Amino acid sequence: SAAKALGEYVTEARPIVARLKELQVKATTFTGKIAGDEHWKDDGDKIDENNDLIHDVNAAVSAFWAAERTCANKIRGLYCAPPLTTDDGSHGANMYGYKGEDLDNAQDLPWGSQLEETHRAWEIGYWVKSFVWDGLIVDG
């Protein structure tokens, strides 16, 4: 029944919502830590913290969408509607939500994006390694 599907949805969604609230607190703390630091993207530890937060939010949002799809499909099955599937990027009919891995590779998400550390011109060690090792030795 629809009532049973909704009850199961609440049970499945409740810990995901709690996780999202926990991540919101972590994100607020992180945002406070980088506030006013225009060069925070030069700090590998801060980039890692940002990317870990984004990954964790992506996983939680993806799990939430999966719970919604599961519930919706149980209800849709009652009236023989086609099931919802995970959006593979084609945005086809009956697609809803994305996999966490796909979100990890997306840019400009409403909650942020994965970033790479930026390097300043005077970071000679980085540029030498990048040119000599990565450019000449690895890539030929």
- The domain locations on the chain are 2-138
Dump pLDDT digits (tens) for 23-62. Answer: 999 999 999 999 998 888 888 899 899 999 999 999 999 9
Dump pLDDT digits (tens) for 100-122. Answer: 999 998 888 888 887 776 655 54
Q: Does the pLDDT of residue 139 top 70, yes or no?
A: no
Question: What is the structure's pLDDT at 137?
Answer: 58
- Nearest CA to 114 out of 61, 41, 60, 62 is that of 41
Long-range CB pairs of 111-114, under 8 A, 24+ apart, other chains included: 111/27, 111/54, 111/57, 111/61, 112/27, 112/50, 112/53, 112/54, 112/57, 113/54, 114/50, 114/51, 114/54, 114/55
Sheet strands (E) in the chain = none
